[in-house]
């Protein structure tokens, strides 16, 4: 599918993987709406990138906020691209060292933001994309969701995060089947250890050691490599119903 001239919505688009995706889509000529709960960052990025980029503020679990963002994304060009990058992480064992159980409210929050938030944006964006005129092969648009290698090899303390990301991967095939009737493809990217601002909070030695665990190349992945894969998925019309690992061959160890 041609990106140039298409409307695009990127949730979690103000930083990290989402920001890189916004930049890549804009470079390809898309009209992008950044949806993020961090209003200052979203506004600053939209102002930096200029014409054709707007932003909307809200939480991915808020149906009204997402509906407003979707409407905005389809206002200047047919919405054809939805990339969902918003998510949070949390580290806590099912049972702590003193035998204390995992905080149930924290588990619910992680699943709510990562899984329910992704589904919420996807369902509303898909409804808008379905209104656009079909292109080659009857295609109307593409959804790209973000899981994680933790969906398959969750580490100690990643029970909530892994559950949420595993469910995102599990949604891929049924979502693609559901939306095939209106010409919408659905794919998921499962990144490994990526060099994002969140990881930047760790000491340099720690991040270097994380990179050494990658099969090859022995380094962290970059947000730009994630964005390049998003672009490739959008442009290749035969990629559908698949979860793509982007991890340099990494297989996560227990800890």
Cβ-contact 45, 53 below 8 angstroms: yes
pLDDT at position 198: 67
pLDDT tens per residue, range 27-68: 999 999 999 999 999 999 999 999 899 999 999 999 999 999
Looking at the chain, the whole-number percentage of residues with pLDDT higher than 90 is 91
Alpha carbons 101 and 117: distance in angstroms, whole number: 25
Lowest-pLDDT range of 106-110, 127-131, 145-149, 154-158 = 154-158
- pLDDT band with cut points at 50, 70 and 90 for residue 196: confident
Domains of the chain: 7-246 (3.40.50.720)
- Extended strands (E) in 61-183: 79-84, 141-146
Q: Judging by beta carbons within 10 Å of its beta carbon (0-12, 13-18, 19+), is residue 100 exposed, middle or buried? A: exposed
The helix (H) or strand (E) run that includes residue 25 is helix 16-27
How far apart CA 198 and CA 194 sit, in angstroms, is 9
At 94 the three-state DSSP class reads coil
Position 244 confidence tier, pLDDT thresholds 50, 70, 90 = very high
pLDDT at 145 (0 to 100): 99
161 flagged as catalytic: yes
Q: What is the pLDDT of residue 44?
A: 98
The answer to whether residues 33 and 73 touch, using CB atoms and an 8 Å cutoff, is yes
pLDDT digits (tens, 9 = 90+) for 65-98: 999 999 999 999 999 999 999 999 999 999 999 9
- The span from the CA of 193 to the CA of 219, in Å, is 9
Query: How confident is the model at residue 203, as a pLDDT?
Result: 60
Using left for φ > 0, alpha for ψ between -120 and 50, and beta otherwise, residue 92 falls in beta
Mean pLDDT of 187-199: 89
SS (H, E, C) 100-122: CECCHHHHHHHHHHHHHHHHHHH
- pTM metric for this prediction: 0.96
Q: How many Å apart are CA 237 and CA 15, to the nearest integer?
A: 27
Q: Which of 161, 166, 193, 243 is catalytic?
A: 161
pLDDT band at 208 (very low <50, low <70, confident <90, very high): confident
């Amino acid at each position: 599918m041609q990106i140039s001239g298409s409307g695009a919505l990127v949730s979690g688009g103000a930083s990290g993987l989402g920001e890189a995706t916004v930049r890549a889509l804009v470079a390809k000529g898309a009209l992008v709406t950044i949806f993020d709960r961090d209003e200052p960052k979203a506004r600053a990025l939209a102002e930096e990138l200029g014409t054709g980029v707007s932003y909307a503020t809200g939480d991915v679990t808020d149906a009204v906020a997402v509906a407003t963002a979707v409407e905005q994304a389809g206002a200047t060009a047919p919405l054809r691209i939805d990339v969902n990058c918003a998510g949070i992480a949390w580290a806590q064992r099912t049972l702590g060292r003193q035998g204390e159980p995992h905080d149930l409210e924290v588990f619910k929050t992680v699943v709510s933001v990562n899984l329910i938030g992704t589904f919420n944006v996807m369902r509303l964006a898909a409804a808008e994309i379905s209104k656009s005129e079909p292109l080659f092969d009857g295609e109307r648009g593409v959804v790209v969701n973000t899981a994680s290698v933790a969906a398959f090899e969750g580490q100690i303390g990643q029970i909530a995060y892994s559950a949420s990301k595993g469910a995102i991967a599990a949604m891929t095939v049924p979502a693609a089947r559901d939306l095939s009737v209106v010409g919408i493809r659905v794919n998921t990217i499962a990144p490994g250890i990526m060099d994002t601002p969140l990881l930047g909070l760790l000491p340099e030695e720690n991040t270097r050691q994380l990179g050494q665990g990658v099969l090859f190349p022995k380094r962290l992945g970059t947000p730009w490599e994630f964005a390049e894969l998003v672009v490739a998925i959008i442009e290749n019309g035969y990629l559908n119903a698949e979860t793509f690992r982007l991890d340099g061959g990494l297989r996560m160890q227990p800890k």
